[in-house]
Amino acid sequence: MEGRWTRAEIAALFDLPFTELVFRAASVHREYHAANEVQLSTLLSIKTGGCPEDCGYCSQSAHHETGLKATKLMDVRAVLQAAAQARDNGSTRFCMGAAWRNPKDKDIPALAEMVRGVRQMGMETCMTLGMLTPGQAAALGEAGLDYYNHNIDTSPENYANVISTRSFDERIETLENVRQAGINVCCGGIVGMGETRADRVGFIHALATLPVHPESVPINALVPVKGTVLGDMLADTPLAKIDDIEFVRTVAVARITMPGSMVRLSAGRESMSEAAQALCFLSGANSIFTGDKLLTAGNAGEDKDAALFAKLGLTPMAAEQRQQVAAE
């Protein structure tokens, strides 16, 4: 096992004085990664809405009245056009997300074609399609899929408060199917869902004690969406936005416990101050989603990110640099 962290050890990291925690995380980061390089990724919703799952945070669930119109799977050519634009804007990884509980076998050939087309452009590929069978994972792996995203979302104990239609163990099973197919794992979760510090400890512990650390760990801050269970429950309450310092602590603990992983600032970044984002980069975050949208949520656009990078002296990571990091 890569990680032999105990919950008590992870809780002790969270409890460190803030500057000490950030210093430790920054030191670990510099040992494993280039200090001021950040990978730019783009996320496209290739099939939006109508999902039968009841994830309490998600605008794409058929259980929620969010006004989102469900669509069919995008045409392969349209996806590749979006990928080419993302590459031209500096992205080195192109992520494709479909609002499914699981893909149907009949969809796999088109998905495989998307993977092959994006790879031919020189970008890394990532997909998030829900649960995968071993055969589906193998087919995507054969097409050259670099990463598969399947988040655990929160701690095992808090999981049932967020989702009832898919178990925590089923998520772990999909991660195992992905690993067996030789695909890198992208797995993280969401903070700011009304969970406790102990839940954030449990969330990091579940990731850091997987047999192999996820190569990519997205840390999302909940974007409350009106019409979703959590969006309505947390609206206009102090719980609706996680404290910036606590969010940075979560990023820092993820970096320390999973030193070789890419830690990605994901949803919720558009509402963070530049100072909060800077603290996240200092604490080991080295990947962001760029572009105006993350699936259906708003996101900081390329121009805003370029200005922030210039202000902080950060450099977008080149594709060949990322591949070298993955190989080491």
* Residues recognised as catalytic: 51, 55, 58, 95, 126, 186, 264
Looking from the CA of 88 toward its CB, the CA atoms found within 13 Å total: 6
Looking from the CA of 167 toward its CB, the CA atoms found within 13 Å total: 3
Structure tokens at 265: 């600032």
Strand 293-294 relative to strand 297-298, pairing: antiparallel
Burial classification of residue 286, based on how many CB atoms lie within 10 Å of its CB (0-12 exposed, 13-18 middle, 19 or more buried)? buried
From CA 279, how far away is CA 264, in angstroms rounded?
A: 13
Q: What separation in angstroms does the CA of 244 have from each of 197, 272, 312? A: 14, 8, 18
The one-letter code for the residue type at 314 is L
Q: What separation in angstroms does the CA of 40 have from each of 5, 265, 317? A: 30, 10, 7
Query: Which residues touch 305 (CB under 8 Å, ≥6 apart)?
Result: 40, 288, 290
Burial classification of residue 161, based on how many CB atoms lie within 10 Å of its CB (0-12 exposed, 13-18 middle, 19 or more buried)? middle
Could you give the residue ranges of the DSSP H alpha helices within the chain? 7-14, 18-32, 76-88, 108-120, 134-143, 168-180, 197-208, 229-234, 244-257, 274-282, 302-312, 319-327
